[in-house]
Structure 1
């Protein structure tokens, strides 16, 4: 009997591992750090590759000027820092999002949701309504355009070409929310790549409520928590 259990050996991802003829050492960046001295500006403990010291002063000044010279970006930064300081480890992400909305003074919230998470979205908008916040929701299949129209072959469709299969349309989601003059847009479960397009085209500031992971109950970090266990999907990469 053939098992349907996932095997990493058959994965296209694993087929690409180790194919490069030359392997150069990765550049040392923040993922190589073991001290995180930048949290307290403990300069004596900065590693030699620390980006705090290696990043050009010009680039640092350019970034900092966004906080001081752009009213919206400066306020977002201050409000976010305040919520972190007051509620760290005491609020869920949903609660933090509601608090952020209130402190920023946002009135109309745009939601770009996967149609597969409409039940979760319906609960969230009830919470928004209870806080007397206006909202507008656009599902990912808006427009009902067949995937064939953008060049997706039948072999890469879920239904394998047995009928109409609507594409996800994050650009239309973004443009629809812009047309409804939303103050803040929230992503709920858009696919990898579709979320990228939405963020690129969003006219309003954007945050993420739910990151889609159909295998792990929309909790993608679990794959990293289990990465060194017997349940790992990344044994070859981490060997």
Structure 2
């Protein structure tokens, strides 16, 4: 059998692999294994290699239908759309549990182990992969989804919905639920934020924005000022240009700590993160004394709408290729 590798995992697509695991399974155990080079091979080269090596089973991630048909025409069985660590995949294959979609799609029989998940019967219980006090939950791999019927999937439901923890957020939850229950119209994110802030009786809003979104920040600020006092602070606040131990990047450095410091000193009621870089948004939120929410994120390729990448084969392929 052969498995194209991406580090120590099954390669998301075989064409992106630079190595492959060659293994032989005998009597439900892995009898032998070795790593073979597969440097940037084309589809034709992969097919030729599989045939030349006498491979009988090809375990892979995503695969095109035409390649699937070509491989199967040589009597090679393909187990596709597989995700996970190669050692786990080998173990599952040896035990006869490996099927299409292992680790990347929910199983229908619930009997076989799932990569990254655990059987529902053991949720909330300690497994061999858990330490004392640690609980593993994978809501994607959960088949029953009892929480959607108002039931707990763990042995300690009170720990997951701690009523006492919500006492200080009661008003916030009430305002949020009122907005989410809106049925007469579909509110955009900005409208939801405005209604939420009005419901919370906030008076002063901070806007921490990226300089690449100056125009959008100006429009947002002018809109919010119809309802609130607004303090916008750009990511280059302080104008620090010196190269030091923080970063070797030339030019004016981003300063999320400075943004938080300014807004903290202005005593804002809530802060908006707007287009901050991944990492800078975390640093800003960590140092902000006021609660922080994200209105927009920056996406230079998708017109600031990153979720679109999940619906695009082109972008997903590009992510897998460059990762």
TM-score by length of 1: 0.73
Deviations 1:30-86 (A, max 9, x none): 122355442331x4xxxxxxxx3226345235x321112x2xx22111211110011
Distance 1:117 1:96 in 2: 21
2:217 equivalent to 1:121: yes
Contact (CA 8 Å) 1:106, 1:183: kept in 2 or not?
yes
Whose helix fraction is larger, Structure 1's or Structure 2's? 1
Note closer, same or farther for the CA distance 1:174–1:231 as it changes in structure 2 (3 Å cut).
closer
More displaced stretch, 20-29 vs 212-221: 20-29
Distance in 2, matches of 1:208 and 1:115, equals 16
The change in CA–CA distance for 1:82 and 1:170 in structure 2 (over 3 A counts) is: same
**Equivalents in 1 of 2:155, 2:261: separation in Å?**
36
Aligned residue for 2:239, secondary structure, equals coil
- Two-structure CA RMSD over aligned residues (Å): 2.8
Which residue number corresponds to residue 140 of structure 2? 31
The answer for the alignment partner of 2:268 in structure 1 is 182
Unaligned runs of 5+ residues in structure 1 are 1-7, 10-17, 44-51
Aligned match for 1:222, one of 302, 308, 317 = 308
On the 8 A contact 1:112/1:173 being kept in 2, the answer is yes
In the aligned structure 2, how far is the partner of 1:194 from the partner of 1:84? Answer: 29
Q: 1:105–1:216: structure 2 CA closer, same or farther, 3 Å change rule?
A: same
Q: What does residue range 82-161 of structure 1 map to in structure 2 within 5 Å? A: 82-87=178-183, 90-131=186-227, 133-146=228-241, 148-153=243-248, 157=249, 161=250
Output the CA distance in 2 between the equivalents of 1:123 and 1:80: 25
Offset of 1:189 from its aligned partner?
A: 0.2
Partner of 1:200: 286
Q: Deviations over 1:99-146 (max 9, x none)?
A: 111111000000100011011011011111222x10101100111112
Partner of 2:164: 65
Deviates more, 1:52-61 or 1:109-118: 52-61
Instruction: Rate the CA distance shift 1:210–1:181 in 2: closer, same or farther, 3 A.
Output: same
Q: How far 1:235 moved relative to its partner? A: 4.8
CA contact (8 A) 1:170 1:195 kept: yes
Aligned-residue offset at 1:230: 4.3
**Matched-pair contact (CA < 8 Å) for 2:205–2:268:** yes
Counterpart Cα distance in 1 of 2:175 and 2:208: 23
Structure 2: gaps of 5 or more residues: 1-14, 17-82, 90-114, 119-137
**Rg comparison, structure with higher value:** 2
Equivalents in 1 of 2:245, 2:155: separation in Å?
41
Report if the CA contact (8 A) 2:146-2:153 is conserved.
no
- Counterpart of 1:47 in structure 2 is none
Aligned residues: 198
The answer as to whether partners of 1:114 and 1:188 remain within 8 angstroms in 2 is: yes
Higher RCO by CA contacts (8 Å cutoff, separation 6 or greater): 1
Query: Could you give the per-residue CA deviations for residues 131-186 of structure 1, whole angstroms, max 9, x where no partner exists?
Result: 2x101011001111126224323xxx3xxx5xxx1111111111110100100100
Partner-residue secondary structure (3-state), 2:306: coil
Q: Indicate if the aligned counterparts of 1:187 and 1:207 stay in contact, CA closer than 8 A.
A: yes
